[in-house]
Amino acid sequence: MTQSPVRVAMLGTGFIAEFRAQVYRRLQGVEVVAVLGRDPARTKAFAERTGIGHAATSWDALMGGPGFDAVDLCLPNNCHLEYGLLAAAAAKHILCEKPLGRTEAEARQMHAAADKAGIIHAYGENMLYAPDFREILDIVASGTVGKVLWVRGREAHFGPHSPWFWKREESGGGALVDMGCHLIAVFNMLLGEEPTSVMCHAPTLHHATDCEDIALALLRYPGGTLGQCEASWIQRGGMQVTLEVSGTEGMITYDRSGLSQPIKVFSRNQTQRYFSEKVESDRGWLFPTVDEYWRYGYYDQIRHFVECIQSGVKPKVTFAEGVVVNRIMDAAYASAAAGGGWHEIAG
């Protein structure tokens, strides 16, 4: 017996929604039947470009369209709680882009509502599904590097695409909330535990924003391991993602910056072709990321979400993990506000 496709409504039409739309077009057993956006013209254009039949700019208009089973929540951070609660109340399964909320309090509300509704809820931390990071997690789990003593992650570029990222009221924070959340989730998964305290320095060094444009956080884990998280909006030259793991019996290094890509292109002339996220130049040396939606983990993340809906199995990364990440970031901001000393992370 053939299963009916899982019907999805996309909430959001921005950069991350474009990534996800690429995945849905390539997956079997799922169909995006509607999209909700905030701007009518942009939402209509997104729907036409991606082949989505129903475009809405309000929840009521979305619910008045074709039926759907789940939402892919890609709206700005200040909309996560509102639309997460609406989706849960309507018994729609939810995949929510990181961070879950602007604060732990918002994340807890979303988690409680989703649990009460009995729906499938997945926290959208794509790096945990990226093939490179799955390999690193497997190597550490196998004991190859022994006991992990120290892990350092860095994610950096020169700033986000959309204006709302730069406004603390809408985003909840700057580089830490935007990028540090990735590293914190990877650290927690890699170590299999949550940190007990954090110290953080989160200044604004360059951009005109009320958010931090760089954050340096040190996490202390129960087993004695230290996690060093560096998130930056002040690095020129495109996206950089690096990870180092030091253990008693070995180490791992990882670099996904532009210069590390196997394909390197030089063009004297201006090009409009898309090469990779956060590329700053349109000529000279350019570094394409092949199948970026797959390399970044979105394909396997969304496939897993769809399979969990079909089978009724709990996702491996749920809103519970998102709550923990928000809790750690709240403590990091508290440390930064108090001058950067150690701050306990309340369980």
Whose CA is closest to 99, among 124, 75, 135?
124
2 pLDDT above the threshold of 60? no
1 pLDDT above the threshold of 60? no
Whole-number Å distance between alpha carbons of 265 and 250: 35
Environment class of residue 236 by beta-carbon count within 10 Å: exposed (0-12), middle (13-18) or buried (19+)?
Answer: exposed
Averaged pLDDT for residues 106-133: 97
What average pLDDT is seen over the chain? 94
Looking at 108-117, 294-303, 334-343, which range is the least confident one? 294-303
What is the CATH class of 128-291+328-344?
alpha beta
State the pLDDT at residue 291.
74
Whose CA is closest to 290, among 321, 265, 327?
265
Whole-number Å distance between alpha carbons of 89 and 159: 35
Q: Which tens digit of pLDDT belongs to each residue from 216-254? A: 999 999 989 999 999 999 999 888 999 999 999 999 999
- Kind and range of the H or E run holding 19: helix 15-26
Confidence of residue 83 (pLDDT cuts 50, 70, 90): very high
CA 204 to chain centroid, in Å, comes to 22
CA dihedral 16→19→22→23, nearest 10 degrees, is -90
Gap between the terminal Cα atoms of the chain: 46
Domain coordinates in residue numbering, the chain: 6-126+298-318, 128-291+328-344
Averaged pLDDT for residues 92-103: 98
pTM of the model: 0.93
Whole-number Å distance between alpha carbons of 280 and 117: 44
347 pLDDT above the threshold of 80? no
State the pLDDT at residue 182.
97
Averaged pLDDT for residues 76-80: 98
Q: Is the Cβ–Cβ distance between 141 and 181 less than 8 Å?
A: no
Q: Beta strands 226-232 and 121-124: pairing type?
A: unpaired
CATH of 6-126+298-318, one of 3.40.50.720, 3.40.50.150, 3.40.640.10, 3.40.50.300: 3.40.50.720
Residues in the chain: 347
283 pLDDT above the threshold of 90? no
For the chain, the 3-state helix, strand and coil shares in percent, each to the nearest 5, are: 40, 20, 40
